[in-house]
Chain A
Amino acid sequence: MRCDFADSLLQGYFDGELSGQRAAEFERHLGHCVHCTTELVDLDLLRDRLQLAQLYEPAPASLRRKINAPLHAIAPTTVASKPRLWHWLAAAAALLFVAIVLGNVGHGLRSDDYQAELAGEIVDAHVRSLQSGPMTGIASDDERVVKGWLDGRAGFAVPVRDFANGGFALKGGRVDVIEGRAVAVLVYERNGRRINVFIWRTREQDSPPRTGSRQSFQWVDWRKGKMEFCAVSDADRADLEQLHKLIDSSA
């Protein structure tokens, strides 16, 4: 038999995560609950055992080398004692490389790659959202309810529209974190398929839609009004483009 307190407060108390008031409340309970006392002792024994076993595995030197090498590859290097022609050629090539990666050369190309790369990340987030089962976030077809929930959590005004009339029913919203930034996600349904529209703030200028696919998922990405949108689904790409038009014209 387990004590009700065990699940709610015991872990927090053990980990020192309760507020002073809650901790005091739990300690009063502890005074007369043998079960919780026993469980605390068990938790403590388990922690000691984990600590003693030294399970932490630091990174091997080979990993550090692999990470450090490319970081320092473009740092200034020492000059060879006997410069030969091929040294100079190599140095010139290295300088050109540095110019390309650090400078503005090929900027447009890299920006496109960046966008495609990010869309790839978003497809991965989409797959995770499908696999994690029930959606965490807000399930509602009411624009105002979803917007109210999202705005505070995403930290910006999220344009939430239901397009049920156009065949894209709003199902809800959630907040995902992609590469360190909070991203609002609108969930639509189209013919029984889920479409996630990821929205985040950007400083970049408006851009027309770009499309791509990854694994078996399609994505359409565009920027408008200092926001970037990326719609992802296993639905037809034409559907995503249609949704893009609906969102774009409603903004």
Chain B
Amino acid sequence: MSELGLEDRERFEQLVLPHVDAAFNLARWLLRGRTDAEDVAQEALLRACRFFRGFQGGDARAWLLQIVRNTCYTWLEKNRPMELSMEFDEEIHLQTSATPETLAIAGDDRKRLTVALEKLPPRFREVLVLRELEGCSYREIAAITSIPIGTVMSSLSRARRQLYSALANSSQGACP
């Protein structure tokens, strides 16, 4: 953090630090846990600081979230590579997300939503989190995830459909 000059450090504090919540929230949902998220978000912020001189202005939140996302994926590749292959077998995934055992654990709606969201493949989970929790535009999501806007839209569509069907299954027999 201390590699920046005084002026850059002030700019960093003004532009980037207001988005620490966004950084943590994205990491928390990508890594499915607060402890790992704290470590990885911290690493991402250190990295952001180190590369701050390369930031040429513009959307600081998108810039930071891009670094957070890359850091999360690199961490997942190293520590939980299985999770990244999830997206290639959605069918299996859809079946497992509807097992009664996992759903019984989900008591109130917040828990049920958390379980359903965490069971989505990371690529779908991230677009939903960025759109619904972080309120990002398609353009911002495209910048953060380095995928084209058309793909953002189709990923959101599939993510919402999967989440919706997972929730429909999970609320069978439970109060609405």
Contact = CB atoms under 8 A, between A and B. Distances in A.
Nearest to B155: A11
A221 interface: no
Contacts of A127: 74, 77
Nearest to A74: B2
B109 A177 contact: no
B69 to A, nearest CB: 10
B5 interface: yes
A48 B75 CA distance: 32
A101 interface: yes
Contact of A176 (B134, B137, B146): B146
Contacts, number: 127
Nearest to B111: A53
A97 to B, nearest CB: 8
A119 B84 CA distance: 23
Interface stretch (A57-65, A78-86, A138-146, A187-195): A57-65
B117 interface: yes
B113 A50 contact: yes
Contacts of A154: none
Interface string B71-102: 00110010000001000000000000000000
Contacts of B148: 136
Interface string B130-150: 011110011000010011100
Which of A47, A59, A179: most chain B Cβ within 10 A?
A59
Contacts of A102: 2, 5-6
B25 A56 contact: yes
Nearest to B42: A66
Contacts of A49: 109, 113, 167
Interface in B50-66: 50-51, 54-56, 63, 66
A180 interface: yes
Given A50-B132, A177-B146, 7 more contacts: A12-B138, A51-B132, A60-B24, A64-B20, A73-B2, A102-B5, A180-B67
**Which 7 residue pairs spanning A and B have beta carbons closest together?**
A70-B1, A59-B24, A179-B51, A53-B110, A58-B21, A59-B20, A11-B157
